[in-house]
A = this chain, B = another copy of it.
Amino acid sequence: MPQGFKYNRLVKDDAACLLVDHQSGLISLVQDFSPGEFKNNVLALAACAQYFKLPTILTTSFEAGPNGPLVPELRPMFPDAPYIARPGNINAWDNEDFVNAVKQTGRKQLIIAGVVTEVCVAFPALSAIEAGYDVFVVTDASGTFNEVTRHAAWARMAAAGVQLMNWFGVACELHRDWRNDIEGLGALFSNYIPNYRNLITSYEARK
């Protein structure tokens, strides 16, 4: 056990969200989630970023080519977010504009998700750790070819100190206490967790 372990937990005012290469072409490569689950998870993470008002950065890789444009739902959710259409760098962290945008958030905790996990997520995650950031990868909003490539990517990132999360864990760790806003968090869960919506439906019916 690491001595003197410090629970480095997500803090609303110290976290930024990086959405990397959620492009219409690249997403068709993802096969470790069903397409419906994956879309839901990506939009749920985006909704968290929006709800918690996290500085958010959008970036794409070579979007004029077969990789395709950013999925159309994301941009309108973050109209003021930096949008870095990388002309060629595969690792977003190799792009100066991207790194500058990250710096300008002034945040130390980076929540990262993207497509595909072992490249578009793992590369900037490892670079960011090296640069001294705390990195939280949202595993269920990051997709890849299959479970083998996913597990290898996770192992590489975990070995570097990346914290592996899911969007629901991110939301809960940021929110801290239901009393901060019961309705807002309930709406978030209701929109992206069908069984939670069912709980609410049953609950409301009997109040």
Instruction: Please give the residue numbers on chain A whose beta carbons come within 8 Å of chain B beta carbons, in ascending order.
Output: 1-2, 5-9, 24-25, 27-29, 31, 33-40, 61-62, 65-69, 71-72, 87-91, 94, 116, 118-119, 122-123, 126-127, 129-130, 139-140, 145-146, 148-149, 151-156, 158-161, 163-166, 168-169, 172-173, 175-180, 182, 186, 193-203, 205-207
Contact = CB atoms under 8 A, between A and B. Distances in A.
Contacts of A89: 176-178
B31 A198 contact: no
Given A94-B177, A193-B29, A119 B5 contact: no
Contacts of A91: 173, 176
Contact of A172 (B24, B87, B123, B196): B123
Contacts of A29: 193, 195-196
- Copies in the assembly, this chain: 8
A129 B172 contact: no
Contact of A164 (B94, B156, B193): B156
Contacts of A5: 126, 129-130, 160-161
A88 B178 contact: yes
B161 A25 contact: no
A164 B1 CA distance: 12
Q: Closest 4 CB pairs between A and B?
A: A1-B161, A88-B179, A66-B199, A24-B201
A69 B198 CA distance: 9
Contacts of A7: 126-127, 129-130, 160
Contacts of A158: 155, 159
B203 A118 contact: no
A156 B149 CA distance: 18
Contacts of A163: 156, 159
Given A7-B127, A119-B172, A178-B88, A195 B28 contact: yes
